[in-house]
Amino acid sequence: MPSEGDRQIQRRGPTLYAQSISSKPLLLAARREAIKNSQGAKPDPRSPRVLRKIISGGQTGADQGGLEAARALDLETGGKVPLGFKTEDGPMPELGPQYGLEELASNEYPPRTRYNVVDSDATVIFGRTSETGSRMTRRMCKESHKPCLVIEEFDDNGLELIRSFVTRYEIETLNVAGNRESKFPGLQRKVRNYLVEALGDAVGFFDEFPERA
């Protein structure tokens, strides 16, 4: 049985999965890059892309937490949502002008999930992957050959995973997905604060970070 917070990076074709088992390959790569930079190495002329946008499907919980984090980090926002700006709490049309979300013709969730996976460079899923929506998102990432990182525990290890993930895959547009608020109470705030802490340095925005809880 893996210990809490211990993760494993498993490569399945072009898709990356971080499960609750070890993160050594990804973390070691990040540390090697940090050491290289600290030694005054010349920058690579093919300078990596910088995260500039977070998108999501607008659902309560992880989706909206990701959008709130982007706003706090002064990043662009967007994403596709079901017809009527459907969420588990009912229609939320205010998400359109607030975050630049776009309605689809279908009021079902799967079409917007696929659009957001395809329209982004990679996806981070927060929460339990046993939930239907998260399972579907993982499957669509695999089918679309897009990197996918799963964060189940909000610990320091996960923070470094996110930073390394964004750097390694040179992610400009990140899709944030995961459990809805009713399935994981408090997730929206957790994701917002966790992403701000994980990405604040990467986008050069924050010196101090909010509490994760």
3-state helix, strand, coil split of the chain in percent (to 5) is 40, 15, 45
Q: What is the pLDDT of residue 164?
A: 94
Domains with residue ranges and CATH for the chain = 48-199 (3.40.50.450)
**Regarding predicted confidence, which is higher, 185 or 200?**
185
- Helix axes 62-72 and 187-199, enclosed angle (nearest 10): 40
The residue among 19, 55, 21 whose CA lies nearest residue 138 is 19
Ramachandran class of 208: left when φ > 0, alpha when ψ lies in -120 to 50, beta otherwise:
beta
What mean pLDDT comes out for the span 70-97?
A: 97
- Helix axes 156-168 and 187-199, enclosed angle (nearest 10): 60
Tokens found for residue 3: 């210990």
Tens of pLDDT, residue by residue over 111-168, are: 999 999 999 999 999 999 899 999 999 999 999 999 999 999 999 999 999 999 999 9
DSSP code of residue 2: P
